[in-house]
Amino acid sequence: MVVLNASQIRAWDAYTISEGVSPLELVERAASGFVDMVDLLLGDEDQEVLIICGNGNNGADGLAIAYLLIELDYLVDVYVNLDGPHTSEWKTCYERLVQLNTEQLEIHTTWNPEKFQLSPSGTIIDAMFGTGLKRPLEGQWRDIAVWLNEQNNLTIAVDMPSGLYADRPPDGIVVFADLVITFQGQRLAFMMPESDGHFSEVIVCPIGLSDTFLLEHEIRSFELTHYYLMPFLQERLRFSHKGDFGHGLLVAGSMGMAGASILSSGAAMRSGIGMLTLQVPQLLYAIVQSAVPEAMVILDEHDRHISNIHLPEKITAVGIGPGIGQHADTVDAIEGFLNRSTHLPMVWDADALNILAIRKDLLDKLPEGTIITPHPGEFDRLFGEQDDHYTRLETAIREAQNRNINIVLKGCVTAICLANGVTFFNTRGNPGMATAGSGDVLTGIILGLLCQGYTPDYAAMLGVYLHATAGDIAAEDMGIEALVAGDLIAFLGDAYNDHRRKEQDVKLDEGEKD
């Protein structure tokens, strides 16, 4: 599933039109797909609908939707503003609608919501402004948005909630949509924290835009789904042994932060790693050895923090950071490790990133392909304060390419910015995962995948996907409030099974088509 900005959406529409599809036909396709989905949702409910139409093609969509809903015996109120310019598609759809002679339809040309026949159980469709919006809602449209947000009716937005831009933060009032039905691909805005609170759910409706456009234009942003991961999920041979699945080194923990090392190492073991060596300060030995008996433990020279990173023979990949603190000795240990110029696959997180932020010269020494997993605060410490998440994402994409590393920018929607310039957005997961230790678990999963031979880009993608899937399964089992980081480890096997089931389902579907 592609994730598009406003210019890409316009270009895809224009390309499809250049192939012989008229703009009016695109409006009709959008309306037909929208109505199919709405009728599935509302078919057995109160079929009263209010559609508020803008003057452009988002409004034209709304007018075409009204026409189709009337054919399905819905009772429809439509508000239109006859002042100002309208697109030719809008005019055609409006003329078609007014020619209907039916009691099911009432068209309002003056904004007076007291005259609407909508019952409290009816549905409102927001068709004012879509991805073409360039400035905040003003005048009457702003008043309508305020009124809409005061209503308790189910509100469904056509393409975008009005007031929300496709690719930059909102700077005015935005209509809240319980559901957004958008067309052909995801919008960048739906991936961003600044859009939080403006919609609950998004459904993507295909409308037959040209497939050739995607082949001829460099689209580099995608929603992460199992389709991208299935070809690379490894199968275990019957005569495999632990050496086939790698030997990881995890440098983690300091006095008072033993939990981070336990969570991360436990996640690595559950991810399918063959062997794990955990380096911790001396005072953590007893607790980590008893908490994760499957891991081997080597002790740092210091009793309370990491002071020197050891690299045992035959290590396949390295994870550094969970709970290590920022002691001066630990900074020196990081510097010494990087100066050895190891080119092993690595994942860096937590305090390892904070140390790199303190010592930017060390950041420049990260080997190519390294995965770093910052949350927004850690990211800004590394690469400078960002104005918003849009600029943060742009910086992450640029830094990943310039440094030839992979940046996992964690959040409600995690952005995986790969060294090749491609970005994947993970929309799985839930607010219950916003809990201490969740990031430590992700580090362990990614380390385990690196050890098994996954390339850094796919280790980052699959790690984030499995982590989020485990979180969703855990939340379904126990609720989001009760979820703790250890539950992500407990449900990691279920996440693998869920992914493999999807793989089998796709293979069965493809077999039926053949």
Per-residue confidence (pLDDT) for residue 343, from 0 to 100: 85
Please give the backbone phi and psi of residue 40, each rounded to the nearest 5 degrees, phi first.
Answer: -60, -35
Please give the backbone phi and psi of residue 30, each rounded to the nearest 5 degrees, phi first.
Answer: -60, -45
Structural tokens at position 338: 């990087």
Where is average pLDDT lowest: 153-157, 229-233, 236-240, 242-246?
A: 229-233
Q: Grade residue 47 by pLDDT with cuts at 50, 70 and 90.
A: confident
Share of the chain above pLDDT 90, in %: 89
Alpha carbons 374 and 435: distance in angstroms, whole number: 15
Q: Which residues contact 402 (CB under 8 A, 6 or more apart)?
A: none
| Mean pLDDT over each residue of the chain, to the nearest integer | 94
Class of domain 226-232+243-510: alpha beta
Each residue's pLDDT tens digit, 456-487? 999 999 999 999 999 999 999 999 999 999 99
**What is the average per-residue pLDDT within 362-391?**
97
Q: At what angle do helices 23-42 and 6-18 cross, to 10 degrees?
A: 120
Does the pLDDT of residue 329 top 80, yes or no? yes
Alpha carbons 319 and 449: distance in angstroms, whole number: 11
The verdict on domain 24-219 having CATH code 3.40.50.10260 is yes
Residue located via tokens 């991208």:
228
Please give the backbone phi and psi of residue 246, each rounded to the nearest 5 degrees, phi first.
Answer: 85, 165
If phi over 0 gives left and psi between -120 and 50 gives alpha, with beta otherwise, what is residue 243? alpha
The domain limits of the chain are 24-219, 226-232+243-510
Does the pLDDT of residue 368 top 60, yes or no? yes
Per-residue confidence (pLDDT) for residue 230, from 0 to 100: 83
Alpha carbons 439 and 447: distance in angstroms, whole number: 12
Each residue's pLDDT tens digit, 174-188? 999 999 999 999 999
Q: Grade residue 43 by pLDDT with cuts at 50, 70 and 90.
A: confident
Q: For residue 335, give the H/E element and its range.
A: helix 328-339
Each residue's pLDDT tens digit, 76-90? 999 999 998 999 999
Could you give the 3-state DSSP secondary structure of residue 326?
Answer: coil
**What is the average per-residue pLDDT within 344-360?**
97
Per-residue confidence (pLDDT) for residue 514, from 0 to 100: 54
Cβ atoms of 53 and 127 within 8 Å: the answer is yes
Q: What's the distance, Cα to Cα, between the start and end of the chain in Å? A: 23
DSSP state of 283: G
Per-residue confidence (pLDDT) for residue 480, from 0 to 100: 96
Per-residue confidence (pLDDT) for residue 452, from 0 to 100: 97
Each residue's pLDDT tens digit, 251-292? 999 999 999 999 999 999 999 999 999 999 999 999 999 999
Cβ atoms of 324 and 305 within 8 Å: the answer is yes
Each residue's pLDDT tens digit, 402-423? 999 999 999 999 999 999 999 9
Per-residue confidence (pLDDT) for residue 46, from 0 to 100: 61
pTM to 2 decimals? Answer: 0.94
Alpha carbons 412 and 428: distance in angstroms, whole number: 8
Could you give the 3-state DSSP secondary structure of residue 231?
Answer: helix
- The residue ranges of DSSP E strands in 307-405, in sequence order, are 317-320, 346-348, 371-372
**CA 211 to chain centroid:** 23
Q: At what angle do helices 389-403 and 376-383 cross, to 10 degrees?
A: 60
Strands 75-79 and 48-53: parallel
Structural tokens at position 314: 């035959």
Strands 177-183 and 199-205: parallel
